[in-house]
């Protein structure tokens, strides 16, 4: 399944009758997350990152990507998950958020998919606030749940600086 080029083609009638989101899904531990593909600039293998002193705890550092220095976020740390050692599947997803280009480290990128909007439910409320503010919703597809993230809230300029 670790192929970014895999496509899921939902029922044609649901595509014709409503909005369809194009998403990139990725793993962080046992959970599968997804973001809108429109914000994704590229997906690269994990490379050496230059650490930056006094950066927020979730900023791994910076890297030079074709002449541009971009901040790299440890997505596990940002979401409050325990750290793990990188593997051959670890990737950096480079996105543009609030006119800021940054990368975030994920355990693996799973696939690019099309998901009808009617298969997305509002984020569940735990009563705790915080993390659920970053969720756009939960997608149901082929018996699995996908947590859709709002990168603008998660990685807005205020959050990264």
| Domain spans, the chain | 12-160
Instruction: Count other Cβ atoms within 10 Å, centred on residue 119.
Output: 18
Q: What is the pLDDT of residues 60-73, one digit of tens each?
A: 999 999 899 999 99
Mean pLDDT of 11-26: 71
* ∠ Cα 131 47 23 (to 5°): 45
Give the up-direction half-sphere exposure of residue 148: CA atoms within 13 A in the CB hemisphere: 22
* Nearest residue to 95 (alpha-carbon basis) of 20, 146, 135, 36: 36
What pTM, to 2 d.p., does this model score? 0.80
Mean pLDDT of 113-122: 89
Mean pLDDT of 130-159: 76
Looking up tokens 């750290």 gives 83
The verdict on domain 12-160 having CATH code 2.40.50.180 is yes
């Amino acid at each position: 399944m670790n192929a970014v080029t895999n496509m899921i083609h939902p029922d044609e009638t649901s595509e014709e009758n409503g909005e369809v989101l194009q998403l990139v899904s990725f793993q962080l531990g046992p959970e599968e997350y997804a973001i809108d593909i429109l914000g994704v600039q590229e997906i690269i293998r994990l490379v050496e990152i230059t650490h930056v002193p006094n950066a927020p705890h979730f900023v791994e550092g910076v890297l030079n990507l074709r002449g541009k220095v971009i901040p790299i976020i440890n997505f596990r740390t940002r979401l409050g998950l325990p750290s793990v050692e990188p593997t051959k599947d670890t990737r950096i997803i480079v996105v543009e958020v609030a006119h800021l280009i940054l990368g975030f480290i994920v355990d693996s990128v799973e696939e690019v998919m099309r998901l009808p909007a009617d298969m997305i439910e509002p984020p569940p409320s735990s009563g705790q606030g915080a993390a659920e503010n970053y969720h756009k919703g939960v997608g149901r597809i082929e018996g699995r749940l996908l947590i859709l993230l709002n990168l603008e809230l998660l990685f807005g300029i205020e959050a990264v600086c």
